[in-house]
Structure 1
Amino acid sequence: MATTQIPYSSLVPNGNLAQPAGTTTVVAPTNNMQISNAFPELTVLRVVNTGVQQVITVKAGDNPPALAAGQGDLAVTVAATTGVQFIGPFESGRFVQSDGSMMIEAATVDATITAFKIPRNT
């Protein structure tokens, strides 16, 4: 199974960040998307949908380390065409994988996802 990396776009304390383009979604289960070395509590996803309504799924983590993984995946419906949805921040105890990443799945390729990392000192 191929994995598409979603890089962080770090928000800047007392500064600014130009709007990032985001990573085009890929369709599960053939492909998945991953945030490597994730900081779930400091992560907010921006999903911009340009196609039909779809569901973005943040996968439950591995137990261990995600002791609350039994709560299951987080599935968020993003509206069609002009849908923009912000998802997060997240709990490490529910969503972190054993390799320290977060896994995300999408229903179509008609969206982009940007992973914003919130600075700790704001």
Structure 2
Amino acid sequence: MARTAVTVTDLNAATSVADPAGTNADPSNGHTVNGVRPEVLVFRVTNTGGAAANATLKAGAQPLAPSSGQGDLVVSVPASGAVWIGPTESARFLQPDGSVALDLAAGFAGKVTAFKVNRR
């Protein structure tokens, strides 16, 4: 099955952004972000469940991701809490199609939000 696309919220200097709603957690298919250079990509993952659950930033594939041998980055998201993951790194997380992939543990409930942090 296709991964769930996550809309990216652009954070620009000297402006404000309303807090985005995020994309509903999809532990069955995982999530993907396309068209954003990983070095400027940050995820916010919220957990609305009663127990901590893992979010996994998937290692990429060679030759695009020469540091993919470091493996996935697994982060525990606390019960009724949130974590921020990133900025990500092309050398470790870039997928063959140019995307970045995030998986959630089975039964995960919450939201995934992606932010593009523009650099000057």
Instruction: Show the 5 A alignment for 1:31-70.
Output: 31-51=29-49, 52-70=51-69
- Name the TM-score, length of structure 2 as normaliser: 0.93
Instruction: Show the 5 A alignment for 1:83-102.
Output: 83-102=81-100
The CA distance in 2 between the partners of 1:93 and 1:43, in whole Å, is 13
Equivalenced residue count is: 118
Identical-pair percentage? 42
Instruction: Show the 5 A alignment for 1:11-50.
Output: 11-27=11-27, 30-50=28-48
Poorly superposed stretches of 4+, deviation over 4 Å: none
The CA distance in 2 between the partners of 1:38 and 1:100, in whole Å, is 8
1:112 and 2:74 aligned:
no
How many Å apart are 1:90 and its aligned residue? 1.2
Aligned-residue CA RMSD (Å): 1.0
- Name the TM-score, length of structure 1 as normaliser: 0.92
How many Å apart are 1:2 and its aligned residue? 2.4
The CA distance in 2 between the partners of 1:90 and 1:31, in whole Å, is 20
The CA distance in 1 between the partners of 2:36 and 2:98, in whole Å, is 6
The CA distance in 1 between the partners of 2:40 and 2:101, in whole Å, is 15
